[in-house]
Chain A
Amino acid sequence: MQWLLIAISLAFMGLFLVMPLYAVFHEALRQGVGVFFQSLQSRDAQSAIRLTLLVAAIAVPLNVVFGICAAWAIAKYEFKGKAFLITLIDLPFSVSPVISGLVYVLLFGSGSLLGPWLRANGVEILFAVPGIVLATIFVTFPFVARELIPLMQDQGTGDEEAAISLGANGWQTFFRVTLPNIKWGLLYGVLLCNARAMGEFGAVAVVSGKIRGQTTTMPLQVEMLYNEYNGTAAFALASLLALLALVTLVLKSILEWRFGDELAASGRH
């Protein structure tokens, strides 16, 4: 019975999880290593990689600052409406990625209140990097905060109160007491946030305008190549993203095994 259940589970995971992963690398290398590297060196692929790195480099730190602020406010104080605020922070997870992009099209697009003013002043948000960054921030919004909130709530306020009573100021308390306490949980949140930021497709597709070589991130470039029946190039670029996913999983597992106690128990997901 036990082995039957194990066999069914592993077969299901093999079919739904391992096979797609294998398929990415198999398709990418189908025409040989030469073609693989050649397609990665194309100018469009290079610019897509650069844009993806740029977007993640802006979106992730902003969400880190937000996550730390939100967790500090929620974990270190008792105030009215706290439970509601925690629910609100998770809100972006229940919004379809397409809608996360759509909101900015409606806010900044030609039919909106802001649209004509932005155009008159030469500010480009939609179909440009700022729009892509905004949509990415939207979809990755809760990642850091939801790791840190339960962790910092578990840790309580004792360490900080001790530091303050010994004469430390707020910043010293944060950098010398709180940050060392939460560093692994923070890294865990950053890891998940970054994976999603680099891989986001739906929200970014809506706001990017898909201008080749300018506003196509890696996932968008994958789609364009795929729709042009350039499967090998699409899968070559996709294999880089799959590699990123694998690295993320490995690092995440290492964090869970080595520092499981220092990550919030309820923070696993």
Chain B
Amino acid sequence: MATAAPIRAGWRLKQPSVIPGFGLTLGFTLTYFSLIILIPLIALMLRAAGIGPAGFWAAATDPRVLASLRTSFTTALIAASINVVFGTLIAWVLVRYRFPGRRVFDAIVDLPFALPTAVAGIALTAIYAPSGSIGALFAPLGIRIAYTPIGIVIAMVFIGLPFVVRTVQPILEEVSREIEEASATLGANRFQTITRVILPGLAPAILTGFALAFARAVGEYGSVIFIAGNIPFVSEIAPLLIVIRLEEFNYTGAAVIATVMLSISFLMLLFINLVQAWSRKRYGYGN
């Protein structure tokens, strides 16, 4: 516009555009985000910080809190590991093989996204309780699934599965069979092709899927509490302890547990972003 002035365009928030609405849409986006997400989260952290470092430390390292965090994180870790194995396998089977009912199973993978968590929780409990169809198979062996940490893992496997399948699946669709054929013509056997050619290429996607499933499992509440048994120090998950603290009107105690969980979640999120940035550089793809 300014034809005469040879001024170098310095720092500017936005590149020029003929399309109207930047102020309106970005303004609404930022306002809505601040009101719904940002301010409430900051209020939470301020509440937790309000009791001072010593008080925060004491509340965060309370034995029951530590036990619940340990339960949440170990069960989530086990569940996410199971999901990585079976999720990758399911993605492979859905992408590579043609069999009757493939589309139906492909659609059903997303069931945990669509089925309300409370419904999943009572359904899993009905199946795995000692009187349930699968629980009854294990009860004579002296193995209890529902109302123990094993039940927590089962619920977390349920809700985490689609994260791994849906992260690995699109990448697997892009990996060309020619690479595998090349590897085979160069003398690799099937096992070598899988471990040295296919899996390294999938590694970033698998790692992302693992992190997403893990993050979801750590925070999960609805599907877990019915099957967990909720015994303090044994099968009490951290989100449940937050609810218990709230029911005791110990709002600050609840805020402290929440802050610890949020900090770990944000580190996970950072980790996912780093993996994806690295994968884009190394393999040329990433979400």
Contact of A200 among B41, B113, B116, B268 (CB under 8 A): B116
Chain B residues 148-162 with CB under 8 Å of chain A are 154, 157-158, 161-162
Chain A residues with CB under 8 Å of B220's CB are 96-97, 202
- Interface membership of chain B positions 114-129, coded 1 if the CB is closer than 8 angstroms to chain A and 0 otherwise: 1111111011101100
Q: Does A43 contact B (CB under 8 A)?
A: no
Name which of B86-94, B138-146, B198-206 contacts chain A: B86-94
Q: Does A201 contact B (CB under 8 A)?
A: yes
Give the size category of A's interface with B: 35 or more
Q: Do A253 and B40 touch across chains, with their CB atoms under 8 A apart?
A: no
Q: Do A238 and B90 touch across chains, with their CB atoms under 8 A apart?
A: no
- Interface membership of chain A positions 81-114, coded 1 if the CB is closer than 8 angstroms to chain B and 0 otherwise: 0000101111110111111001111110101100
Our count of residue pairs bridging A and B at CB distance below 8 angstroms stands at: 286
Q: Does B179 contact A (CB under 8 A)?
A: no
Chain A residues 1-59 with CB under 8 Å of chain B are 2, 5-6, 8-10, 12-13, 15-21, 23-24, 27
Q: Does A190 contact B (CB under 8 A)?
A: no
Known interface pairs A206-B246, A219-B222; A238-B118 also in contact (CB < 8 Å)? yes
Q: Does A262 contact B (CB under 8 A)?
A: no
Please classify the interface of chain B as helix (H, G, I), strand (E, B), loop, or mixed, using the class held by over half of its residues: helix
Cα A170 to Cα B23 with chains together (Å): 12
Chain A residues with CB under 8 Å of B157's CB are 16
- Interface membership of chain B positions 253-273, coded 1 if the CB is closer than 8 angstroms to chain A and 0 otherwise: 011001001100110110001
Give the size category of B's interface with A: 35 or more
A93 to chain B, nearest CB (A): 8
Q: Do B120 and A70 touch across chains, with their CB atoms under 8 A apart?
A: no
Known interface pairs A16-B161, A202-B239; A99-B118 also in contact (CB < 8 Å)? no
Q: Does B47 contact A (CB under 8 A)?
A: yes
Cα A13 to Cα B87 with chains together (Å): 10
Known interface pairs A12-B90, A268-B170; A99-B258 also in contact (CB < 8 Å)? yes
A–B Cβ pairs within 8 angstroms, 17 of them = A6-B99, A20-B120, A23-B127, A68-B25, A77-B14, A96-B239, A138-B37, A157-B19, A161-B19, A164-B20, A169-B20, A202-B239, A223-B118, A226-B122, A242-B115, A265-B170, A266-B287
